[in-house]
Amino acid sequence: MEAGAKRTMIARIAAGLGTLCGFFGGLASTTKDPWWFTPHGWGIGGILLLLLAIFLLLDGVVSFEKSDPNSIPRRPTLH
């Protein structure tokens, strides 16, 4: 598995769950039923999961870029 792939997979799952939380928050606010959380709680949970997904995705990209063997700068040679 290449560098950053696991973080990218976790970020995609977190983004999906964040979107699902946002959907549940919208559904809870339109139906006005007392769910486990208030619509505000579902929205905050979705926002936090999406922020986590963004940070994990950026961390995976940085990790992948740092692991590229072609991008290693060579030592300057003295003449």
- Main-chain dihedrals φ then ψ at residue 28, nearest 5 degrees: -65, -35
The residue to which tokens 């339109």 are assigned: 30
Q: Can you give the pLDDT at residue 29?
A: 78
Q: Is 65's pLDDT higher than 70?
A: yes
Q: Can you give the pLDDT at residue 34?
A: 67
Q: Can you give the pLDDT at residue 77?
A: 64
Q: Is 40's pLDDT higher than 80?
A: no
Instruction: Report the percent of the chain where pLDDT is more than 70.
Output: 71
The residue to which tokens 């995976």 are assigned: 60
How open is the CA angle 52-46-57, to the nearest 5 degrees? Answer: 25
Quick one: how far is CA 50 from the chain centroid?
Answer: 6
DSSP assigned state of 29: H
pTM assigned to the model: 0.66
Q: What is the mean pLDDT of the segment spanning 2-30?
A: 81
